Amino acid sequence: MSIGKKLNLSFMAMILLILISTGMAILSSGAVKEKVEEALGNRVQQIRVIDEIRVGIGMQGQYVRALLTDNSPKVLEELEYYAKYVDEQIVLIDKMASSDTMAALIKEMNIHNEDFNIATTKYIGMQRQKM
């Protein structure tokens, strides 16, 4: 084999290796892109649910304060609605938990939510007895 043939063969082998390498890089970057989009989509959805929980808790606080000044059935209904709403959102975020840290935070949130629900139920019962 002459030197020209050897050079051509080695040049073609280099081109083939470059093409294979490029193809593998394109395939792996597509897989990484899909996984990143899935992870970010899940995180964004979790943030939205957490935001809804925050709104629900804020509304609970507002109606608890309103209940102290205005003991009306409408205020009681709204308080009960937001208590159930927060419970539903906590269940939803619990299903989305993907890490141990998130699961621990949700467990802590459930404990505080249950304490609030127990106190709210007692208070609402007392207020209904007064009506």
Would you kindly state where each structural domain of the chain is located, as residue ranges? 3-130
Structure tokens at 20: 């294979």
Count of helices and strands (H, E) across the chain: 3, 0
| Distance in angstroms (rounded) separating the CA atoms of residues 91 and 26 | 39
Does residue 54 carry a pLDDT above 90?
Answer: yes
Predicted pLDDT at 111 = 92
DSSP 31: H
* Identity of residue 106: I
Count of CA atoms in the C-beta half-sphere (13 A) of 69: 4
pLDDT tens readout for residues 66-120? 888 887 888 888 988 999 999 999 999 988 887 788 888 889 998 999 998 898 8
How many CB atoms are closer than 10 A to CB 39? Answer: 11
| Distance in angstroms (rounded) separating the CA atoms of residues 93 and 87 | 10
pLDDT tens readout for residues 17-35? 999 999 898 888 888 888 8
Predicted pLDDT at 131 = 63
Predicted pLDDT at 20 = 94
